Amino acid sequence: METAVVGIRDAKMNLSKLLKLVRDGNEVLLTDRGRPVGKIVRVPPRSLALGERLKGLEERGLIEPSHKRRMNRIPPPLPLKKGLAQKMLQGDRNDRT
Q: Which residues pair with 35 in a beta bridge?
A: 32
Count other Cβ atoms within 10 Å, centred on residue 6: 20
> Model confidence over 19-72: pLDDT tens digits?
999 998 899 999 999 999 999 998 877 677 888 888 888 888 888 887 766 667
The whole-angstrom separation of Cα 91 and Cα 81 is 16
pLDDT of residue 51: 83
* Integer CA distances (angstroms), 54 to 7, 44, 47, 58, in order: 39, 18, 13, 6
Contacts of 60 (CB under 8 A, 6+ apart): none
Q: For residues 30 and 10, is the Cβ–Cβ distance under 8 A?
A: no
Greater model confidence, 8 or 54: 8
| CATH number of this structure's domain 3-40 | 3.40.1620.10
Q: Which residue has the higher pLDDT, 85 or 72?
A: 85
